[in-house]
Amino acid sequence: MGATRLETLELEKVGEKVGVRERISELQAFSDKAEGGDEQARKELRRAIRESTPEVIARCSDIARTYRKNLAKTASGGVPYVEEAFVRRAELLAEEVAGENPSPLESLLAERIASLWALTELQEALLAGYYGGLSKNISPAFLIQMSKLQESTNRRYLNAIKTLAHVRKLQGGAPTLQVNQQLNILAAG
């Protein structure tokens, strides 16, 4: 019996992912050689990146994902399941905020919102720990500075949300039309 269209699409997705992983491995090998000072490997790396698919390039340059993993490691306090759950929650948040069929700008803003959410959560947890006596030798000046950093992060987070809402409002449809009609009435006479 032949594969259904859905099964065929799923197999294609798996094949694409395998292709992406293989390409990233190839790029990593060039990168390792280039780090060692191999100029030819650097040229090959540039060529290979130029010839890579947008998905490969996006995966290789996804600094936000690495950044959020670092935040998760700190926020988890070394508890692996908390770390993994924190990373996954940020990923789910980015996907949910982006929505179905997001524009490139919506995708960027959704990633930004997820990253700032992670940073805000971490800073709030750290600040709560400092206020709760996590460390006895913390100066008031340090607490004030940490509070200012947390407020700044929270403002950036809320501003990113506001910007996404504004972008969506602007994308919401065609410009409004104003129709003016003139009615001329001729007097009989």
User: What spatial distance separates the first Cα and last Cα of the chain, rounded to whole Å?
Assistant: 86
Q: What is the DSSP letter of 189?
A: -
Report the pLDDT value the prediction gives residue 15, as an integer from 0 to 100.
46
| Confidence check: pLDDT of 58 > 50 | yes
Exposed / middle / buried, residue 76 (Cβ in 10 Å: 0-12, 13-18, 19+): middle
Q: Taking CA 33 as the corner, what is the angle to CA 61 and CA 42, rounded to the nearest 5 degrees?
A: 65
| Confidence check: pLDDT of 7 > 50 | no
Please tell me the distance from the alpha carbon of residue 139 to that of residue 180, in angstroms, as a whole number: 68
Report the pLDDT value the prediction gives residue 164, as an integer from 0 to 100.
96
Domain ranges within the chain, ordered by starting residue = 12-61, 63-170
Please tell me the distance from the alpha carbon of residue 141 to that of residue 49, in angstroms, as a whole number: 47
Mean pLDDT of 70-99: 92
